[in-house]
Structure 1
Amino acid sequence: MSNMNKYASILVAAYLGFFTATASAIMTVNCSTDTAKNHMFLSDTEVSSCVASGVGNINGNTRTDDFLTSGGTAAGYVAAGSGNFVDFDKDNFGNSSGTWSITAAVDAIGFKFGTGNNPDEWFVFDLISGVTGGDWDFVNVFDRGGGLSHIQLYNKSTSIPEPSLIGLLAMGILGLAIARRRALKVS
């Protein structure tokens, strides 16, 4: 094998090794539509998507939880308790990171951050089934506050299916038939 072929083989092997490592690398899920605003990241091995983010409070109360009242309830989410977290790093710019954990499997997890004199912010992620912990990163663009206040958990509600239109129609016709039969017996 010539030196040229040997170097070409090494180059191709290095390229394929880099491509394979890059393809299997852990990606992050960003929760905010605008990176010029505060936002946070979780690993795609923990969450499948960002459900919503906003300003205000998340607390599990259907009347005052800003996620639930801004569309979370309409999307089928209900409160499911709270989770545990540890702040393990906060830099001079208000960015912070840490770990989170929950004791039971849930469908979604919300993080609420205090942001100094600005309104508090929250971020809700859909969890991958069976995940009960992981790491979080908060990017504080405005350099105010930045501490994680609490974690709120959510489940998708399982609604009871309503009777079908045909079933209701059949019950109505049956009721009319019974009423007519009783009326004929009386006369």
Structure 2
Amino acid sequence: MRLLLLRHAKSDWGEPDLADFDRPLNNRGKAAAFKMARYLKDNGLLPSQILCSTSLRTRETLARLLPGFPQEAQIHLLSDLYSDSEGDYLGFIRKQGGRAQSLMVIGHNPAMENTALTLTGTADAAAVADLREKYPTAGLAVIDFDIADWSELQPGTGHLDRFIKPRDLKDDPA
């Protein structure tokens, strides 16, 4: 089974009175979300199920991914992915993932980084070092597991297949 951990794209801090939950994506974030959508499609990283925080910036990130997915994915908007973003997302993945062969979580840091590091057991040393250095906005960790159901998920049992940041990807030539 494959887990795609995508941190929301860069949000707009232009309105200081706006609640954190209500911050939209800025222009850089919109571009990064489209870039990641293209990467996901081009590399066949297409989730069958998506767990997404209900914050505006995560929902806007999701909206920019969906047009690139040729298949329909079950989408679950979970407010707890926002309110519990200080720890990790293991409990949500175990409870909500079911038997989805490819599960995407769109959420926040530090929970995104903590989840990726907690689950990774094996990986290329450079990829883990990169992940530990910084989990930037629109960063994506792809972790593979040998399990039949997400309820079986355990720390340290995943293989970090790759860690991709928007700046690692070429800009659209158009």
TM-score strictly above 0.5: no
Relative contact order (C-alpha < 8 Å, sep 6+): which is higher?
2
TM, length-normalised to structure 1: 0.25
Of the two, which has the highest radius of gyration? 1
Comparing both structures, which one devotes a greater share of its residues to helix?
2
TM, length-normalised to structure 2: 0.26
